[in-house]
Amino acid sequence: AFYGCTSLNSINVDKDNQLYSSEDGILFDKVKTKLITYPAGKKEKEYNIPSGVTSIGGWAFYGCTSLTRIEIPSSITSIGGWAFSGCTSLTSIEIPSSVTSIGFAAFGSCTNLTRIEIPSSVTRIGSSAFHSCTSLTRIEIQSSVTSIKIEGGAFAYCTSLTSIEIPSGVTSIGNAFYGCTSLNSINVDKDNQ
């Protein structure tokens, strides 16, 4: 609904609205368990998602170019498609161990993101999840992961990525690393079937 509204800095919802609510100009569902939209025009550098939020909706932070740091609470279980795509100032993000799913292009074109750690709770990394994260030099998938599907293009065009270690719990890798022109080393756990 607010795609491309790069000057929008606040969304305010009437307190009597039955479906939506807002806090500090950020749009949530009524009970504040789903973060729907963080306005792309907000100028804050950091944002802590409130505890109690369980999902980050698709496109929620799309194009929020001012944010350098976002704290995700341990209540979050899913990150929607395109959720952080185009957050070009984001340098690092910690995905808590409560997250089980990372959606399509969730961190696409986060061009200043340098490192990502995938916790063992994640069972699915969607297509193009980290597509064109051109500063990404390190991806760490926790070795205790029991089962994870890495979909096609998940790390495509991560041109600064030089090596990858794949633990035994990775069960499927599509064409996840195409266009990674600096990649020179892939280590697969010896117990991987």
pTM: 0.92
pLDDT at residue 193 tops 70: no
- What's the rounded mean pLDDT across residues 154-172? 90
pLDDT at residue 192 tops 80: no
Q: How far apart are CA 102 and CA 87, in angstroms?
A: 16
User: Is 37 in contact with 2 (CB distance < 8 Å)?
Assistant: yes
Q: Residues 111-125: pLDDT tens digits?
A: 999 999 999 999 999
What is the amino acid identity at position 85? S
Task: Report the chain's mean pLDDT, rounded to a whole number.
Answer: 93
pLDDT at 125: 93
166 vs 108, which has greater pLDDT?
108
What is the amino acid identity at position 154? A
Q: How far apart are CA 53 and CA 139, in angstroms?
A: 26
Q: Residues 35-50: pLDDT tens digits?
A: 999 999 999 999 999 9
The torsion of the CA quartet 3, 56, 78, 50, rounded to 10 degrees, works out to 170
Q: How far apart are CA 119 and CA 134, in angstroms?
A: 22
